[in-house]
Amino acid sequence: MILSSRVAHHIRSDRGVAYSRVAVTSTDHEPAAVAGPSPATSSTPVPTAIPIRTFHPRRGRMTGRQLDAMDQLWPVFGLTVPEPAGSPLDLADLFGRRAPVVLEIGSGMGDATAAMAADDPSRDYLAVEVHTPGIANLLDLVRRHGLGNVRIVEGDALELVRGLPVDALDAVHVFFPDPWPKTRHHKRRLIQPAHVALLRSRLTPGGTLHCATDWAEYAESMRRTLDDDPGLVNAHPGYAPRPAHRPVTKFERRARTASRDVFDLIYHRV
């Protein structure tokens, strides 16, 4: 598969860089006083922006198979989040065809993405993840299952979405996002009003935002947030019945083992 120069522009060429963790951040910021001189007065501390991340920085070793997948497949199927100043990502160019695109935010080890892409060849799957071993694992699954309809972005999903054209996505999946259970960490949650408005703006009219979680309090918060968004309507009266097309991943298996409920929320853009 040959990617066009426009897409190749976003792809890492330095293999050494590809394996290292990149400092990817959200551009939502919280002010914090910094003990340094203000450029204006040279004595007054000024607030500066500390980026808020929706993910835990994690290290992880890659297996031999994952390293090999990274070597062989990253140049073909992988890209980093494009620079904010660049032109919007051209998805038809990226996938080499014009088809509905599903964005998989936080694809983890990629099992769900690979299974859905295999079952749904008429749509393209754009997975975004910050965890390098997970990215490598999905690349390996792409190779093993011969999937042509998957591309994998390394970096912050929110940055990626800001760089997508409006109306670009047929669906957005946010499956088992980090729950950030402590109240002081709720600002790190992926599903919060500003992020939902951003995701909705990139959905095509009638497009789907599908979230799933096993964290009951986060599920309630998601429901309030999604209900309150003026551009979304709930496809079901309350939580959705578990859709058969959402593959079971380790997070759902863990929840079942611990007798925790799993909540699906399926909304459409009006």
Size of the site for ligand SAM (CB under 6 A): 21
Which residue, 175 or 267, is less far from ligand SAM as judged by CB? 175
In angstroms, give the least distance from the CB of 110 to ligand SAM.
8
Catalytic residue among 119, 178, 227, 261: 178
Q: Is 251 annotated as a binding residue?
A: yes
Is residue 79 a contact point for ligand SAM (CB under 6 A)? no
In angstroms, give the least distance from the CB of 40 to ligand SAM.
33
Is residue 134 a contact point for ligand SAM (CB under 6 A)? yes
Is 71 designated active site? no
Q: Is 83 annotated as a binding residue?
A: no
Is residue 207 a contact point for ligand SAM (CB under 6 A)? no
> Which of 177, 189, 200, 268 is in the footprint of ligand SAM by CB under 6 A?
177
Which residue, 69 or 105, is less far from ligand SAM as judged by CB? 105
Q: What's the chain look like in SS3?
A: CCCCHHHHCCCCCCHHHHHCCCCCCCCCEEEEECCCCCCCCCCCCCEEEEECCCCCCCCCCCCHHHHHHHHHHHHHHEEECCCCCCCCCCHHHHHCCCCCEEEEECCCCCHHHHHHHHHCCCCEEEEEECCHHHHHHHHHHHHHHCCCCEEEEECCHHHHHHCCCCCCEEEEEEECCCCCCCHHHHHHCCCCHHHHHHHHHHEEEEEEEEEEECCHHHHHHHHHHHHHCCCEEECCCCCECCCCCCCCCHHHHHHHHCCCCCEEEEEEEC
Is residue 130 a contact point for ligand SAM (CB under 6 A)? yes
Q: Is 129 annotated as a binding residue?
A: yes
Is residue 156 a contact point for ligand SAM (CB under 6 A)? yes
Q: Is 178 annotated as a binding residue?
A: yes
Instruction: Write out the catalytic residue numbers.
Output: 178
Residues engaged in binding ligand SAM (CB under 6 A)? 54-55, 106-108, 112, 128-131, 134, 156-158, 175-178, 190, 249, 251
- Annotated binding residues for substrate, written as ranges, equal 182, 214, 249-252
